[in-house]
Amino acid sequence: MQVLTGVLNGNLTVISLDRISFGYDGRATLEGVEVTIPAGSFHFLTGPSGAGKTTLLKLIHLEHRPHKGSIALFGENIAPSDAAQRTRLRRRIGVVFQDFRLIDHMSVADNIALPLRLQGKPMATHREDVTELVEWVGLTERADALPRTLSAGEKQRAAIARAVITSPELIIADEPTGNIDAEMGMRILRLLVELNRLGKTVLVATHDLGLIRAAKSLVQARTLRLSERRLLLAASEL
């Protein structure tokens, strides 16, 4: 499926954080965070609740600006005052939220197509992409359903399809299995692994160490752990 493929360039650094610090209300959440994530890689981000996983993802997605340090995405240093650059780079990122964030009055298919509409792309030329993505996540029979009639697992699969409809190069998933059962969690994991095999760079925040262990048989992934405001490479036994 063309919409799912991405250019895999192992020489490209997709994410580079250089001594990032950030906090709320004068209280430090992250301090001196450094990491480099290459194109085509699969990373888990873990740590206890409140460690700053969601905050770090928002920094990477350019929703927050670091108080100290610098961020580079896709080889470009982020200029704090360049709103056009931030908008352009965010279009190269697909985000999967834990709470789904589907629009209640829109069907599954329309929710998936929403990023295309927001970018002003003609729907007539993208209907096939939407149909193929609906099928890819196993929601063909639910394409016209409203979110309130979906199970949590169905909502999350719709959210994944929406995240990739614009063919982004980087996929960020924030606790994508946090609201679903273990069996559906594995199904979500397999979709993310498939995206990685198709050339996408994938970063998954999760507190579920069982999910990380299960991923070992599916993908070569590295695990990053937030602890005491710092980011560390987790021990191999994870």
Report DSSP letters for 83-134, one per residue. Answer: HHHHHHHHTTEEEE-TT----TTS-HHHHHHHHHHHTT--GGGTHHHHHHHH
From the centroid of its chain, how far is CA 126?
Answer: 22
Asked if residue 238 is part of any domain, the answer here is no
Q: What is the per-residue pLDDT for 237?
A: 43
Q: Across the strands, what pairs with 36? A: 16
Domain CATH number, residue 73: 3.40.50.300
Asked if residue 43 is part of any domain, the answer here is yes
Q: What is the per-residue pLDDT for 37?
A: 96
Instruction: Name the pTM for this structure.
Output: 0.92
Q: What is the per-residue pLDDT for 238?
A: 46
Distance CA 92, CA 77 (A): 15
Q: State which residues form the domain around 111.
A: 2-233
Q: What is the per-residue pLDDT for 218?
A: 95
Q: How many CB atoms lie within 10 A of CB 93?
A: 22
Our count of domains for the chain comes to: 1
Amino acid in position 36: T
Asked if residue 126 is part of any domain, the answer here is yes
Q: What is the per-residue pLDDT for 232?
A: 84
Tens digit of pLDDT at every position of the chain (238 positions) = 566 665 555 578 999 999 999 998 878 889 999 999 999 999 999 998 888 999 999 999 999 999 999 999 999 999 988 999 999 999 999 999 989 999 999 999 999 999 999 988 887 778 899 999 999 999 999 999 999 999 999 999 999 999 999 999 999 999 999 889 999 999 999 999 999 999 999 999 998 889 999 998 999 999 999 988 888 876 554 4
Asked if residue 87 is part of any domain, the answer here is yes
Q: What is the per-residue pLDDT for 80?
A: 85
Asked if residue 218 is part of any domain, the answer here is yes
